[in-house]
A and B are shown apart, each in its own frame.
Chain A
């Protein structure tokens, strides 16, 4: 009926498929903690395709420079304005890296300057509670990339709702593992992924 399907954005430039196991890990968490009707496997959807509009939540990541085509640009703008939620995560965890520079350039070209999401935003409380805002990743804590702890996420707001989230935290590395691996972990790092999905489905 209206099953949630985790969709990964496929775009013409860059390496969109750089976190192939991430959907599986997030889907596992959603199925484990919630009663949300979630499809067991994710899909890849082209940003230039009309198929994009059948998936109101889309994950986008990569390491390489991002240059949207005209169709991609038009679709992304329309998608966000209609109420879709596009999550863009910098897989480099590097604000001096090419992905960050080019992706934020594309976003600001379409939507203007992004808003810093306050750490008491509903996104951090809608299911699990993250008192300090976006949870840190091992890549941040271990000094990879830009060697910074990013305390905030940036966003594009449409009618006071999040239409696009930009993250420099590299959740794409943090959550890119087989779901079975969670058995060996003391804490499930994908809990924040559940909040993203719950927020997308309820707000």
Chain B
């Protein structure tokens, strides 16, 4: 830019050139007519003049662009846009005073159910809806009641791998975890009306829709510490337990009346060893009808139970007598590895190279097999909270297979997969909004302002240079 002083100096130079021109003409008149009059030198175009030229060009370009925009808007209809924070007001405007042909919404969090439904209704009123939200992460949550008298719930969250998932309920934050390849799974001991999973700005909400009707459990095995502490843990958990514990060839210790083994009475059968083989055929029928079976690996030696087992029992690895630690309590237990896995078996846990927990479906029922044969040591010799954790673990094994009748319960509104719902209602996200066809009415005042300023500057520049 040149200063007014520069412009003044430029005017002096111009005047000099004009004076020189006049002198040349006088010289030609007074001396020789054959000599052509020429200025002494050509002055460079002043910067101010260049600026003025650019401003004039910009004004013409802006007018042309505005004209094209207006023509396009007339042809395609008016387009409006909104962001998450202005969406509610925009929806009200689009539905009342304004009727744009197309609206585009840039979302930084999924709209609430009301706004989503409102957007989905706009096409019915002749307004096309497009949206985008590159920061919205696909998230879904499911809450299932656990087949457990403690009435807890299993929460499963689907989220992009390594995303941070925060679980919360109506009271506050429950826990947070980083999502793995299969998302996040958690156990909520006392689920509230709703449970939320927060992943970035996306909040998915789920509620329990079923109540479970639990039956009894049947424990079958030889008298021993594992039988004793298994029964004790389950009863402390709240299960009603029938038991048939073998003590001698002629006598058993019975607890409860062991009636027909069917899903009407039992939620699960727990077979600790081969003494359960006496009921093998009945157990097999029960499982195929939908019952649950928890099998300690030694029980799978019995031919009648082997066909149900996820795997065959391997060679016993005796524990070394160390106290179970708080961090890896099952590492200190004796293990019968689960080997020769059935083709449809799924290994749920390994200890080193050995499968220690495996499961499979048999007919309509489920079977889980544990290789830990003296889990009672965890409860007796573990850390301060070992009895609770052992009880939770045993209850978890049972819950993973237990049969439970279901009844529906009323549940509050949920939004289990906000992004999926959004796509379901509005279609897939559109590319980012480029602004190619903006609303001429809304930008007219800006265009007018820019034009005025440009022309004013151009006029002022010329006047300062002394040019009309």
Residues of A within 8 A of B (CB): 1-2, 4, 33-37, 50, 53-54, 56, 79, 81-84, 126-127, 159, 161, 198, 200-203
Residues from chain B with a CB closer than 8 A to the CB of A33 are 248
CB <8 Å contact, B223 and A34: yes
Total of A-B residue pairs, C-beta within 8 Å: 88
Rounded to whole angstroms, the CA-CA distance of A79 and B382 in the bound complex is 11
Stretch at the interface among B99-107, B229-237, B428-436, B437-445: B229-237
CB <8 Å contact, A202 and B223: yes
Among the listed B228, B251, B316, B387, which residue makes an inter-chain contact with A203, where contact means beta carbons less than 8 Å apart? B228
CB <8 Å contact, A201 and B380: no
Cβ contacts B227-255/A at 8 Å (1 or 0 each): 11101100110000001011111010100
CB <8 Å contact, B224 and A35: no
Q: Which residue of B lies closest to A81 (CB)?
A: B387
Among the listed A1, A37, A84, A198, which residue makes an inter-chain contact with B374, where contact means beta carbons less than 8 Å apart? A1
Q: Which residue of B lies closest to A125 (CB)?
A: B253
CB <8 Å contact, B225 and A198: no
Residue B121 interfacial (CB < 8 Å):
no
Q: Which residue of A lies closest to B252 (CB)?
A: A202
What 9 A-B pairs come out closest when comparing CB atoms?
A53-B381, A201-B223, A202-B253, A53-B380, A34-B248, A2-B224, A202-B245, A2-B225, A2-B374
CB <8 Å contact, B224 and A201: yes
CB <8 Å contact, B316 and A1: yes
Residue B139 interfacial (CB < 8 Å):
no
CB <8 Å contact, A83 and B228: yes
Cβ contacts B194-226/A at 8 Å (1 or 0 each): 000000000000000000000000000011111
Residue B404 interfacial (CB < 8 Å):
no
Rounded to whole angstroms, the CA-CA distance of A79 and B223 in the bound complex is 20
CB <8 Å contact, B246 and A35: yes
CB <8 Å contact, A4 and B224: yes
Nearest Cβ in chain A — how far from B388, in angstroms? 11
Residue B323 interfacial (CB < 8 Å):
yes
Nearest Cβ in chain A — how far from B345, in angstroms? 23
CB <8 Å contact, B381 and A201: no
Which one of B222, B225, B318, B386 has the greatest number of beta carbons of chain A within 10 Å? B225
Residue B271 interfacial (CB < 8 Å):
no
CB <8 Å contact, B224 and A127: no
Rounded to whole angstroms, the CA-CA distance of A186 and B224 in the bound complex is 30
Beyond A53-B381, A83-B379, A198-B247, whether A161 also contacts B232 by CB under 8 A is yes
Beyond A56-B225, A201-B225, A202-B228, whether A2 also contacts B376 by CB under 8 A is yes
CB <8 Å contact, B376 and A56: yes
Rounded to whole angstroms, the CA-CA distance of A159 and B229 in the bound complex is 12
Rounded to whole angstroms, the CA-CA distance of A201 and B222 in the bound complex is 9
Known pairs A4-B224, A201-B228; list 19 more (Cβ under 8 Å): A1-B316, A1-B318, A2-B224, A2-B376, A33-B248, A34-B223, A35-B222, A54-B377, A54-B380, A54-B381, A56-B225, A82-B379, A83-B228, A83-B232, A159-B235, A198-B247, A202-B223, A203-B228, A203-B232
Nearest Cβ in chain A — how far from B92, in angstroms? 62
Rounded to whole angstroms, the CA-CA distance of A185 and B225 in the bound complex is 32
Rounded to whole angstroms, the CA-CA distance of A15 and B253 in the bound complex is 35
Residues from chain A with a CB closer than 8 A to the CB of B235 are 159
Cβ contacts B356-386/A at 8 Å (1 or 0 each): 0000000000000000011011011100001
Nearest Cβ in chain B — how far from A157, in angstroms? 13
Nearest Cβ in chain A — how far from B381, in angstroms? 4
Among the listed A2, A34, A50, A82, which residue makes an inter-chain contact with B247, where contact means beta carbons less than 8 Å apart? A34
Beyond A1-B374, A56-B228, whether A127 also contacts B380 by CB under 8 A is no
Rounded to whole angstroms, the CA-CA distance of A203 and B248 in the bound complex is 16
Rounded to whole angstroms, the CA-CA distance of A202 and B298 in the bound complex is 19
Rounded to whole angstroms, the CA-CA distance of A127 and B252 in the bound complex is 8
Q: Which residue of A lies closest to B318 (CB)?
A: A1
- Can you identify 16 A-B contacts, CB atoms within 8 angstroms? A2-B373, A2-B374, A2-B376, A4-B225, A36-B222, A37-B224, A50-B323, A53-B381, A54-B381, A56-B229, A83-B387, A127-B251, A202-B227, A202-B228, A202-B231, A203-B228
CB <8 Å contact, A126 and B248: no
Residue B321 interfacial (CB < 8 Å):
yes
Residue B334 interfacial (CB < 8 Å):
yes
Beyond A50-B381, A56-B380, whether A82 also contacts B387 by CB under 8 A is yes
Q: Which residue of A lies closest to B387 (CB)?
A: A82
Residues from chain A with a CB closer than 8 A to the CB of B377 are 53-54
Q: Which residue of A lies closest to B233 (CB)?
A: A83
Rounded to whole angstroms, the CA-CA distance of A54 and B322 in the bound complex is 10
Rounded to whole angstroms, the CA-CA distance of A1 and B298 in the bound complex is 10
Within 8 A of A (CB), among B292-324: 298, 316, 318, 321, 323
Beyond A36-B247, A56-B380, whether A201 also contacts B321 by CB under 8 A is no
Which one of A4, A35, A200 has the greatest number of beta carbons of chain B within 10 Å? A35
